Structure 1
């Protein structure tokens, strides 16, 4: 799997006609998940059918950032404003998990109603229905099926859904790929680089965006704290050192940059329109090939819009999980 250029939390929808099963899920699913639980297929279908225009509007907002960047507006302040003003993005559903055996409408029929909805689809089946699920999977109607009699099904379900939540979304990848140069994109496609970046981003942030000018990853954690993982190719260290010297930094500092011992946040400050003293941070290698270096810089609160409160705050406002009729 390639490293996602754009990632954020999203909702997970469960549809089952057994209230006790949904109530069990409400208790055991990870607390950091935005979970919606439905008893009635039609209610669930109606809610999900409202989402495609919202997905389209969200993609348009992202595309507009790219267009404004091409016209000369730095991307980092735009992304910060997007995060602070588009809190509804967390409510868009990434994965739905439907039970197959329901009295009024089976799970495949319900999924068939979601013609324009593009999220991941999981079908829960009984032992007698497994052949139906295999056929649906082979025809591309579902992405995954899970037998309800699977040992420790709750943990298995969590593993499957978590894997689907981390998969890159095609539309987002296409939008943000256009912000990278071909050499930058090629560096991110190196398997060892992708694996290490995936580990770094998942441990630091709930949401991130990769950009190419400057080259790096802007991320925000669950509490709304923003930081910047600056990426620098080994071949670009000399140019960064020259930039540091042109801004009055000492020769010894520039030498450390050339040697790959440190990176400086001059390009981040320029993108944010800041004039504070540049910060030097120890660099580390990303991947096994030695072609990419990184350093992590906090983004000062003054640069973050006041509305950027974080995913945890948004999730808390939703209140406790409950089963919807």
Structure 2
């Protein structure tokens, strides 16, 4: 079933092989937009993988005890989810360093690939093992036992294309794993749209046309905050009939003009009042400046959505782009690789 991940951003892949020559040749054949690290020492690689950051906000965890609760019984403690904390991951300059996939050779001196995988501490990281003919049966057994998630035969003529495809699949599976609890928590909220296959397909189309590489659920108004690799931002505002009724009721309370209400009811435009958390502000004669072209979509329910380029009010100057991370990673990797050679 197609779903929209509550958040997704490019992550780093670690390749481990005791042959520096193999790694040097391999990196020339990888997806140019892939962030990766190369290690010919499994000990160094394991230390780097286990020390890598995990998806989180720079200031607080996504899930935390509900602070307003007065019940002191810890057994009854309520855990809350902060949607803003999910979105605020975009301000974490270390987010791209999160390790999502490890590609490890099996036959290495000192520590074979199977032992390497067993000593990894983050169960969410996906593991791909590169094998030769002699250790293929070990890889099959490890896959069946759930120790690794894929294995690829080095000698196959399609090994590189299979590897690039498997890395993409495993990066997506990594976020399926880390986002599952968030999806479950939001299933009955205004973010139920995350599980709508029709809307998921439309978001995928929009992401493809805009070159989106990362996104985060957003609040007030609800939707997705999206970025391309250069850091250009787009806010995808998503409304259902229920959330639109809320917008309209507040606008009526604020004495919004009939023209605004008519524009809202038409479904052809949506407001983004960024100073007032999406609500119609008091005494707003220039409301047209806050309106954006909208489209309708029918899935599990009806939606009206609008794409807002470079949305104001979100401190976008603090966001590090993926391209800038790739440039820095290339410089660091070249320096590190030279020092190991």
Q: Above 0.5 in TM-score?
A: yes
Q: In the TM superposition, what is the alpha-carbon distance from 1:120 to its structure 2 partner?
A: 0.8
Residue in structure 2 matched with residue 295 of structure 1 by the alignment = 306
Range 165-174 or range 6-15, more displaced: 165-174
1:118-137 pair list within 5 angstroms: 118-137=124-143
For residues 113-138 of structure 1, give each alpha carbon's deviation from its aligned partner in whole angstroms, at most 9, with x where no partner exists.
11445311111112343322221111
Q: Conserved in 2, the CA contact under 8 Å of 1:241 and 1:255?
A: no
Q: Conserved in 2, the CA contact under 8 Å of 1:49 and 1:117?
A: no
Residue 261 (structure 1) aligned with residue 268 (structure 2):
yes
Match of 1:227 among 208, 226, 234: 234
Q: Conserved in 2, the CA contact under 8 Å of 1:210 and 1:216?
A: yes
SS in 2 for 1:218: strand
Unmatched segments (≥5 aa) in structure 2: 70-81
Q: What CA distance in whole angstroms lies between the structure 2 residues aligned with 1:138 and 1:282?
A: 51
Residue in structure 2 matched with residue 147 of structure 1 by the alignment = 153
Residue in structure 2 matched with residue 318 of structure 1 by the alignment = 329
- Structure label with greater radius of gyration: 2
Q: Conserved in 1, the CA contact under 8 Å of 2:55 and 2:98?
A: no
Q: In the TM superposition, what is the alpha-carbon distance from 1:263 to its structure 2 partner?
A: 1.4
Q: What CA distance in whole angstroms lies between the structure 2 residues aligned with 1:69 and 1:141?
A: 42
Q: Structure 1 residues 117, 135: CA separation in 2 closer, same or farther (over 3 Å shift)?
A: same
Q: What CA distance in whole angstroms lies between the structure 2 residues aligned with 1:35 and 1:100?
A: 19
Ranked by relative contact order (alpha carbons within 8 Å, sequence separation 6 or more), the top structure is 1
Q: What CA distance in whole angstroms lies between the structure 2 residues aligned with 1:67 and 1:172?
A: 20
Q: Structure 1 residues 7, 92: CA separation in 2 closer, same or farther (over 3 Å shift)?
A: same
Unmatched segments (≥5 aa) in structure 1: none
Q: Structure 1 residues 79, 114: CA separation in 2 closer, same or farther (over 3 Å shift)?
A: closer
SS in 2 for 1:206: strand
Q: What CA distance in whole angstroms lies between the structure 2 residues aligned with 1:103 and 1:285?
A: 59
Q: What CA distance in whole angstroms lies between the structure 2 residues aligned with 1:251 and 1:32?
A: 49
Q: In the TM superposition, what is the alpha-carbon distance from 1:229 to its structure 2 partner?
A: 0.6
Q: Conserved in 2, the CA contact under 8 Å of 1:15 and 1:97?
A: yes
Considering only aligned residues, what root-mean-square deviation do their CA atoms show, in Å? 3.4
Q: Structure 1 residues 94, 195: CA separation in 2 closer, same or farther (over 3 Å shift)?
A: same
Q: Conserved in 1, the CA contact under 8 Å of 2:89 and 2:95?
A: no
Residue in structure 1 matched with residue 292 of structure 2 by the alignment = 281
Residue in structure 2 matched with residue 55 of structure 1 by the alignment = 54
Residue in structure 2 matched with residue 98 of structure 1 by the alignment = 104
Q: Structure 1 residues 9, 99: CA separation in 2 closer, same or farther (over 3 Å shift)?
A: same
Q: What CA distance in whole angstroms lies between the structure 2 residues aligned with 1:147 and 1:287?
A: 45
Q: What CA distance in whole angstroms lies between the structure 2 residues aligned with 1:80 and 1:274?
A: 23
Q: TM-score if structure 2 supplies the norm length?
A: 0.78
1:170-319 pair list within 5 angstroms: 170-175=177-182, 178=185, 180=186, 182-201=188-207, 203-211=210-218, 213-244=220-251, 246=253, 250-266=257-273, 268-271=274-277, 277=287, 278-286=289-297, 288=299, 291-300=302-311, 303-304=314-315, 306-319=317-330
Q: TM-score if structure 1 supplies the norm length?
A: 0.82
Residue 36 (structure 1) aligned with residue 37 (structure 2):
yes
Residue in structure 2 matched with residue 15 of structure 1 by the alignment = 16
SS in 2 for 1:17: coil
For residues 254-278 of structure 1, give each alpha carbon's deviation from its aligned partner in whole angstroms, at most 9, with x where no partner exists.
2232232221113x44238997855
Q: What CA distance in whole angstroms lies between the structure 2 residues aligned with 1:205 and 1:59?
A: 22
Q: In the TM superposition, what is the alpha-carbon distance from 1:252 to its structure 2 partner?
A: 3.9
SS in 2 for 1:32: coil
Q: In the TM superposition, what is the alpha-carbon distance from 1:312 to its structure 2 partner?
A: 1.4
